[in-house]
Amino acid sequence: MSWHVYIVKCADGSLYTGIALEVEERIKTHNSGKGAKYTRSRLPVRLVYREYVGDKGDALRRELDIKKLTPKAKHQLIAHHEIKCD
């Protein structure tokens, strides 16, 4: 099973980056209020970016790389890899 790095857009317009094996389940967890502390007060969240990576170590390194990006760079990353999610 492959790990994923994902970005969600929160209700306040901010972006949150995380990793998961099952992204759809993780989004449900966030939206149920049981996800990351950051997203709990910014519900609902919507998936805007997903990237398949190798193992958990690869996912953690990529997550850190994305978190270091400026907000503008994150929005550009999302725009260049737009996904269709409801």
Tens-place pLDDT, residues 59-70 = 999 999 999 999
Class of residue 30 by CB neighbours under 10 A (exposed 0-12, middle 13-18, buried 19+): buried
pLDDT at residue 1 in the model: 79
Check pLDDT > 50 for residue 86: no
pTM of the model: 0.90
Give domain limits for the chain: 4-80
Nearest to 47 by CA among 83, 75, 2, 11: 83
Class of domain 4-80: alpha beta
